[in-house]
Structure 1
Amino acid sequence: MIHRHHNGEVHLFGQRAGSYLLLLPSHLTFQRWKASSCASKKEEVCLFIQPVDYLLFVWFILAAFSTAYVAWDQFRNNPEPNVMKWGFILVTLYLGPVGLMLYVLADKEPRPNTHEEFVKPLWKQGIGSTIHCVAGDATGIIIAAAITAVLGLPMWLDIIIEYIAGFAVGLFVFQALFMKNMMGGTYWQNVRNSFMPEFISMNAMMAGMAPVMAILMMGRDMRAMWPGEMLFWGVMAFGVGIGFATAYPFNVWLVAKQLKHGLMTAREDEQKNLTAHEISERTTNHEMETGHQSNTHHGMRPSHQQHMSHGDSHQHGEKLPPAYAPTLTQIVAMACFSLIMLAGGYAYSFTQVNMRLSAHDVGRAIMAPGMIMTFDTPGDAMKDMAAVDPRGVTFTASSDARGATMLEPRIENGVKVFDLTASVIRWTILPDVTVEAYAYNNQVPGPTLRVTEGDRVRINVRNDLPESTTVHWHGLILSNEMDGPAMITQKPIEPGQEFSYEYTVGQRGTYFYHTHDHVDRQQALGLYGALIIDPKNPADVIPADAEYLVQLQEWIKRDWLTFPSMPMEGALPNYFTINGKSYPATETVQMKVGQTLKVRFIGSNTTAIHPMHIHGGPFEVAAVDGETLAPSARYLADTVNIAPGQRYDVLWQARRPGKWLIHCHISHHTTNNNVETQGGGGLMLVIDVTGD
């Protein structure tokens, strides 16, 4: 049989019919680990599980410094109304260095007493108008997005609520309320006068912002759906930036037609006495690019009484000459066009992602790179195909830990009892490559259960996974309620629950156990293990000097994350393991010339068919799917195709000394991330045969 040493080599002890000897080193005994044992490790990966997280962290630091500078400079040096000061502060908070650049280039007074002249150009006035729009609208949108995510509302409803919230905050708070003292008139007069400009500007902004948010949130990385994730705020910031860009041309037009104010100058000793009309008269009555000059010169400051007499006319372009004043037709055209843009932005979102889903439906799922997400991709499919969240790891196995170790039962009233716990672990498949795996008893594959034909067994299964699970006993004849298919023969074992499987073993041979709930995901992530049933009659043993168990698996490790190896667009397996390790980390089997090695191949993988080949001469196929072949039915081969679920027992003779390989004959499967390491990789191990 097998004895494993720290160096990874496997030494074999004599085995003949009915005679078995297995020695395990003490370091392979099991321990129950608690989640708190790796709490520090979980904290280390709490924020940074994708490369984009580091970029976002740096961006947020830059945004914080940018916002702090704008706030400091606005209230210390820049002569403009407080509503615009706060507008630039909020937009810089959302846009970071971009907001700082806009402030410095368009609004920050370059030298004392030059602000009035500095902000006159129309492009700067347009920036000021857009800043005021975005500060209010984006604030409402972001607040609404956070609340709807927590409530679990679907995306189609979310973007409608975001529009309503953004428009309401922009109109009723940032326009009518914050500008009331400067605009003059009653609050509701200001609401009425601001409605159409705000409507046009909000439509244009949301036309750009909505599809960006929807596609990025429901695209590859659904962490963007949750306010507790950095990515949520990163997507919001990016969406605000796109919304700013789409709203800017409309705001330039609105300012040019004097339907909205732009940048304004207000010295501290004047702010209490001037209305917005008077403040903007000094800055927004700019020279038109056509050469027209307003009747009031930019450098002049009319009296308070003179401007109050204009009343609300300033907000409707009546101060402009007839050729330049906006007509009702123009205003309606702009409003309709902005509405068409908004409808187009919303409609495009519905063609790209499943807008019926909510943050609760997809969790924090991260799809594999290149994954095709369509408008009808189910939320459950996203969660099944998603990467394992590294923050859910409760145990990190040592780099030299081995899977498929023998689990000794305890005896209770003549019943052999095994305890299995399914949990999320970090497992090393190569010295410099780890995967996040679903594992039984903190190892991949799960522990080997070895029993004898006729034994009564009980397997207690505890579920410490973040999702439900069951266990199926592949190929065994047993009572239906013990078979394991979730929702068919039993209720799934929910997280934190336990279930006991008990049956009498009536067969002999090579079998295995695996999950049967979310099978496509869970088995691909490591929830499987060998079940070896020795014959009750020693004469039925297939004789060999030693035996070795080969359990196959495919893995997808991309962008620091582990994805279940399943047929899905955009991701193919790039690592392959035998008993949880990739060559050259696989074990070395030590033999002598003349000995016979029984290899038990188990198709514990979930997707590919692996043509397993052994160098050094043909082997004899002695058993298939647990059934021992009659001597007359046995045949020689040097390659057998191992499909998922299949098992082959083969007898290989060590004919000559040397290093002989067991490997898959699909060459890609003998690489590690498409690269050969020390002559191979993946599904490969060495049989080291020495002379007599």
Structure 2
Amino acid sequence: MFRRSFLRIGSVAAGAALTCAGEADAQHPGGHASHGKPAPPSGPVPPSTPVARSEFAAPGQVAVVTPDGVTLPWRLVGGVKVGHLVAEEIEHVFAPGLSATAWGYNGRTPGPTIEAVEGDRVRLYVTNRLPEPTSVHWHGVVVPNGMDGVSGLTQRPIPPGETFVYEFTLRRAGTFMYHSHFDEMVQIAFGMVGMFVVHPRRPLGPPVDRDFVLMTHEWRLEVGARRPNPIEMTDFNVLTFNSKAFPGTQPMLVARGERVRLRLGNLGPMDHHPIHIHGVSFKTTGTDGGFIPPGAQVPESTVLVPVGSTRVIEFVPDEPGDWIVHCHMTHHMMTQMGHNIHSMVGADTKNLDERMRRVAPAYMTMGTTGMGAMTEMNMPVPPNSLPMRGTPGPFSTIDMGGMVTILKVRERPSEADITGYYEHPPGTVAGQADAAQMAADGVDVGTGNHHRS
């Protein structure tokens, strides 16, 4: 039988105690651990000091912001930046009303964004509190082979309850990722992914004012279920940015005229995502392979982020407002919608409705005029489910969900309410047409005789 037939997700194993600060420098010269176990320290242990958040990026560069997320803290030990990742089972909220038991790092999915500078020496401890072994691969980062994190090939898997250490020098700047490389079908599907940003020692290109990271992900979570289904290959029903589904996503607040960098990552499991941003034109300036020369950058409004890849885009918004950012695969803007039913659009169900109301007076067939009106209905739903019901907007229900967030462009973002909507100047909002103006323009909607150029 196939391996997938035997999948059983067990309960979480007991966690091991965290490695003490005195072990933080226990590493062989050259950065290679002996079968994953640090060598005992020789001589006095260097003092450990926290690294200030303002020092995460090189001079002249801003630190990255992870909406709905955090950045991994560093401690400086003998000139080495030391961080700690804990692989563990977590309770994760996708959006109000929808949560699941997932796996992640340091109590969240995606894990903390790792942020450092080209040339930094980093030491990353990984403690395994999962019910099965794990490892961490530094996706796109060039490291010594024994630090690549491929279980069985370059290291022993990290058993439950143990802590391994990875150490390497960041020789190349770029936008990378990290993820489990043991039982990836399950562990990645459960959320064991994160972003890894390495700033160049000297800035490349025009300096940016804002630097965001968004990681796409797709999940299969049955209505009412507590755990995602890692075996799903095609019909994902919860699509997220930084593991949040709209309206649970945190907006990105920027100023008009600022230069904005947005780093997009995609570790799957299966789909590419064409990410479209309203209101701006941008250029793709980098991938997980490196920076793109200016002569090869072309203006776009949609960027395709393939599975296993990152894309870096930069833009300067010149129109204030609330601009939607979303995957342009339309089903990726929905949450827990069923796809195994027939379309009812255009069906005449008058006789059916009359017959059904004899036994169920409140019955009505839905979807005969389209699906949008269903988002206005405040109908009861099963526990722990979030079908596409939309969310209140400034004009009506916003009938989107899933892989959606908002870019909020303001004149003075420091004074703006990130939870509030844009106040449009008078005369700048589309509205009901004026009959006199329609006549002057030669538009006659009554007869269907439209002006044609």
> What TM-score, normalized to structure 1?
0.42
Describe the SS at the equivalent of 2:122: strand
Instruction: Provide the residue aligned with 2:39 in structure 1.
Output: none
Distance 1:610 1:664, change over 3 A: same
Runs of 5+ consecutive residues of structure 2 not aligned to the other structure: 16-65, 338-387, 392-397, 413-453
Percent identity between the two aligned chains: 32
The residue type paired with residue 521 of structure 1 is V
Q: CA–CA distance in 1 between the matches of 2:127 and 2:152? A: 18
Which of 484, 487, 497 aligns to 2:162? It is 497
Q: CA–CA distance in 1 between the matches of 2:229 and 2:258? A: 39
Instruction: Provide the residue aligned with 1:576 in structure 2.
Output: 239
Instruction: Provide the residue aligned with 2:96 in structure 1.
Output: 431
Instruction: Provide the residue aligned with 1:545 in structure 2.
Output: 209
Contact kept in structure 2, 1:394 and 1:425, CA below 8 Å:
no
Instruction: Provide the residue aligned with 2:282 in structure 1.
Output: 619
Within 5 A, what are the aligned runs for 1:460-475?
A: 460-475=125-140
Q: CA–CA distance in 2 between the matches of 1:523 and 1:402? A: 20
The residue type paired with residue 670 of structure 1 is M
Quick check: 1:407 aligned with 2:69? no
Contact kept in structure 2, 1:453 and 1:535, CA below 8 Å:
yes
Q: Runs ≥4 in structure 1, deviation > 6 angstroms?
A: none
Quick check: 1:377 aligned with 2:6? no
Within 5 A, what are the aligned runs for 1:83-162?
A: none
CA displacement 1:566-585 (0-9 Å, x = unmatched): 544xx721111111211011
Instruction: Provide the residue aligned with 2:306 in structure 1.
Output: 643
Distance 1:541 1:414, change over 3 A: farther
Q: How many residues align?
A: 304
Q: CA–CA distance in 1 between the matches of 2:330 and 2:123? A: 41
Quick check: 1:510 aligned with 2:178? no
Q: CA–CA distance in 1 between the matches of 2:246 and 2:150? A: 34
Query: Post-superposition shift, 1:403?
Result: 5.0
Describe the SS at the equivalent of 1:561: coil
Quick check: 1:556 aligned with 2:220? yes
The residue type paired with residue 635 of structure 1 is V
Runs of 5+ consecutive residues of structure 1 not aligned to the other structure: 1-375, 396-400
Query: Post-superposition shift, 1:652?
Result: 2.2
Query: Post-superposition shift, 1:543?
Result: 2.1
Describe the SS at the equivalent of 1:407: coil
Larger proportion of strand: 2
Contact kept in structure 1, 2:174 and 2:199, CA below 8 Å:
yes
Contact kept in structure 2, 1:607 and 1:644, CA below 8 Å:
yes
Larger radius of gyration: 1
Instruction: Provide the residue aligned with 1:60 in structure 2.
Output: none
Contact kept in structure 2, 1:508 and 1:626, CA below 8 Å:
no
Describe the SS at the equivalent of 2:189: coil
Query: Post-superposition shift, 1:436?
Result: 1.1
CA displacement 1:515-545 (0-9 Å, x = unmatched): 000111101111111111011123x265222
The residue type paired with residue 377 of structure 1 is F
Q: CA–CA distance in 2 between the matches of 1:552 and 1:441? A: 19
Describe the SS at the equivalent of 2:408: strand
The residue type paired with residue 677 of structure 1 is G
CA RMSD in angstroms, aligned pairs only:
2.1
Query: Post-superposition shift, 1:643?
Result: 1.3
Contact kept in structure 2, 1:430 and 1:585, CA below 8 Å:
yes
Contact kept in structure 2, 1:457 and 1:502, CA below 8 Å:
yes
Distance 1:393 1:644, change over 3 A: farther
Q: CA–CA distance in 1 between the matches of 2:276 and 2:166? A: 36
> What TM-score, normalized to structure 2?
0.64
Describe the SS at the equivalent of 1:590: strand
Greater relative contact order (Cα 8 A, min sep 6): structure 1 or 2? 2
